[in-house]
Each structure stands twice: as structure tokens, then as C-alpha cells.
Amino acid sequence: MKNLIYLLLFAISWPSLAARQFDIEVILFKRNIAPEQVSESWPDNPKPVNLKGSIDFGDTARLQARGLTPMPSSQFELNSQYSKLKQHAGFTPLAHFGWRQGDLSRAAAPRIHFTAGKDFSAQFLADGTLKSAQADEQKDIPSDQGFTEESLDTASDEAEEQASALRELDGTLRVYVQHFLFTEANFALREPSRREVIIGAEPLDPMESALEPEGNVQIGHLQEVKKQVKVEEFLKSYPFQQQRKMRSGETHYLDHPLMGMVIQIRRIDG
């Protein structure tokens, strides 16, 4: 008898569980501060954001096929937070968006691909190299390297395809339910920077070596050399990776030295 009651209660509650929906609203912003002024350090070549299997936020058909519907701006409830960020001298809002989804598990919830901010594709290549620097290198390549016009066109098309996604902010976001609500954010904030690059070495002047005995070291009979270094501009990526357990109805702030995210997940009953 007791088991029958439990089954009846479960059957009654099942439709409401199946109909549970969530509105997710997000604001992405950056801090108006030079990365060099932050004590934290980042590698020049971090691992790129994995976009494999993600769905672009503009691909409405694929999102709806996975149970997600983009939210119109008329339904935004974080407009006051966005306005405060925009009016504050220390921040620059990059994106404000939202969507509705069901009670999706981590396996069922897709990673959504977002891009925002400035477009650096006219100045930099996808790997962050300055385009003018690559052009100078190509001038030094002999013309008889066996490249066909077709291969050059293919390489050019691939470069253009990569460059088209070279936005200031690029990455993925996923919201899922696993007993609790969870948010996974994996973004890269891109900013122009400068780095030292070794371009070669030259023998050290004996007189210079005598004047600076502690500068370079000669071992055995090896000739002492001095590195040749140049400073070049490149597009540096700063990772933003966050995973947070959340409660519906609460506004959460995900922090980072260079950027941040405001997210609110609202449960929609019925």
C-alpha cells in the first residue's frame, strides 16, 4: 500500500518536473585595465578554447533542436546591471544575451559558442601573429618552392576562415542540471601585447666580454655568443575558466582579474 502511494505521488509530480524550464541571462564584460598592471601572469601561448561540438549562438535551428531558445532583449531582467557597468569607468560591457532551456543534464546540454567585442582579424592571424610580420617573412621565401596557385588559394581561404572568428572575446558557455544548477564558462579574452623573440645569435666581441665578465659564460672551447632579440606585437589570449554551482533566482558574479560575468538563472514553472 505504501509503495502504491509513492508511485501515485511520483506520477502526479512527473508532469511538473518534465515541464520545468529555465531562463538564463548573461552579461560579459571586461575590466578597463592593462594586463601588465595585474600581478597575475599568463603564458604567451595558452591552450586554445576547445570549440569542437559547440553550437554557435546565432544558429537558432541547431539550438532549438537541442531544446534551447534564444531570449529576445525585451525579456531581459539584468538591464540595470548592464547600465551600471556601461556607466562605470572601470568596465566595458561586451555582450548581453539569454536563452531558455529545459531540465538538461550535463550530457544533454550543449556548449554554446559566443563571440563579442572588437574584431582583430584585419591586424592579426588566428595564432596571434601580426599580419605585417608574416608578410615580411614571406618576402624572404624563394619563389621556386613548388607552391601551386591552387595550394596558395586554399591556404588563403583557410586563413580567412580562421581570421573571421578573431574577436576580442571568444569561448563557450554551458548550463546544466546535476542535482543542482551548474554553469561552465570557458572563454579567451584577447588583447594586443608585446613579447621578446630570439631571432638569432652572434659571436660576442672579446672586448665586450672582458668589460662584462658576468654577462655571458664561455664553457670549454665553445665560442661565446650573444642572443639577438627583437620585440614584436602579438595578440595575447587570457583564459577565463569557471565552473559554479548556482541557485535559481539568484544573480551570480564570476570574477577574473581582466573580465567578469554576471549570470542569473530563473526557473519558469508551467
Tell me the per-residue pLDDT of 90-130, one tens digit each, with 9 for 90 and over: 999 999 999 999 999 999 999 999 999 999 999 999 989 99
- Range of the structural domain that residue 27 is part of: 20-120+166-193+236-268
Q: What pLDDT band is residue 232 in, cutting at 50, 70 and 90?
A: confident
Q: 83 with 152, same domain? A: no
pTM of the model: 0.75
In this predicted structure, what is the pLDDT of residue 204? 60
CA pair distance 76, 263, nearest whole angstrom: 11
Residue 231 pLDDT: 79
Kindly report the average pLDDT of the chain as a whole number. 82
State how far the Cα of 186 lies from the Cα of 166, in Å rounded to an integer.
16
- Average pLDDT on 181-209 reads 79
Q: How high is the pLDDT of residue 223?
A: 61
- Do residues 58 and 145 share a domain? no
Do the domain assignments include residue 223?
A: no
Supply the pLDDT for residue 39. 87
Q: Please report whether residue 130 resides in a domain.
A: yes
Determine what percent of the chain is predicted with pLDDT higher than 90.
57
pLDDT at residue 150 tops 90: no
**pLDDT on residue 11:** 45
Compute and round to an integer the Cα radius of gyration of the chain. Answer: 26
- The per-residue pLDDT for 132 is 79
Residue 107 shares a structural domain with residue 241: yes
Distance CA 218, CA 213 (A): 10
Q: Give the confidence band of 224 by pLDDT, cuts at 50, 70, 90.
A: low
Residue 204's alpha-carbon distances to 196, 217, 226, 227, 230, in angstroms, are 20, 10, 6, 9, 17
Distance CA 180, CA 172 (A): 20
Tens of pLDDT, residue by residue over 7-36, are 444 444 444 445 689 999 999 999 999 998
Closest by CA to 34, choosing from 258, 259, 190, 261, is: 258
Does some domain include residue 112? yes
Same domain, 106 and 172: yes
On the question of pLDDT at 77 being above 50, the answer is yes
Contacts of 71 (CB under 8 A, 6+ apart): 23, 24, 25, 97, 98, 99, 100
The pLDDT of residue 137 is: 55
Of 41 and 253, which is predicted with more confidence?
Answer: 253
Half-sphere exposure at residue 71, Cβ-oriented, CA atoms within 13 angstroms: 20
Q: Is the pLDDT of residue 215 over 90?
A: no
83 and 184 inside one domain: yes
pLDDT of residue 6: 47
Number of structural domains found in the chain: 2
Greater pLDDT, 247 or 140: 247
- The confidence score (pLDDT) of residue 180 equals 93
